[in-house]
Structure 1
């Protein structure tokens, strides 16, 4: 049955000689895998493979059956062509990190419109921001944790959960204030964090996710993100 849905491209793998299997988080059906034929050829129309780069926002018409692990697309286009995200080193590094985490934590094969809206709004913020996005990845992880069921209510609770799991996180007053602001204010709220403090909080957030989702394992994009953004 043909269905319309919006989606967020998460990743893709090569399939056979010219095709890919794309992983997409959709508004209507949650996490889905789609096979897209003939996109890895010189004759591929309109460079369709670019539609499945990290966090691309999609409008799709799909063949949907709830008992299939692999579906097909009838139509696909981007709903918001990126102008800065793929070309800004800091933004693209954040996008790779966010994409990797989402691939690890999103499991539901059911629609969650509120979560989908949060993800779209977050991607659009990162694409459109000209300033105050250096802490985007930190705010994003904190706010996403509430959708996943383990969001901390305060910096003190965050610290307590880490210490209970033998992670040595001891924020000073400045870090605690920054953490509470990240928790309670919209993404993009100006926050002053030194490079070392930003790295420390990033590592603590990844550890916090690993405590609550034991299948996360190694986050391969973390060293690059730490180096680029700090």
Structure 2
């Protein structure tokens, strides 16, 4: 990436003990990866969208080209929704749309990475003794036009319908592991995320006195390999 790298972190700390640790870890990671990082604490539902729109305007108005944008969203949540500091909900889809190829010209065809640390439901995963392998199929094409929703990477702290966990002193294992891998490992981001998923799958969370398992979910429309180092 030869152009500028920009990052925006929006984090609700209210009733989310340990979230400051996650913000500190993200700040160190972005500094290491040479991103210009902006962090906002305790946005309301409306401010989530407002801050994303300001971020989009900053990118589009920038004189120098932007190579990549990271957006980190941390809050209580449900599937498809985040809860603002005011207790109201904002749709994730509305937040994702702000930087798509239609609405943010400066990021057209550029990687847009969303990291979402939030619950997506109430299910709890006790784990299974046997597991299968995932097979990813990559389809390549070179169209004359570009689809609206390409070059985005959505990294959720948990799979659809399940809780996300956070330690009230150490922060969330998801953010702590992700920042450690992104800071200390090299390679395409998809391989780094495989490492994050592997490490999270190996760990166990004790919640309500019972062991729980949790793993992130990655949704990608990237057309090219993305290297952070």
Q: TM-score range by the shorter chain?
A: under 0.3
| TM-score where L is the length of structure 1 | 0.26
| More helix by percentage | 1
| TM-score where L is the length of structure 2 | 0.27
Higher RCO structure, 1 or 2 (CA under 8 Å, sep 6+): 2
Q: Which one has the largest radius of gyration?
A: 1
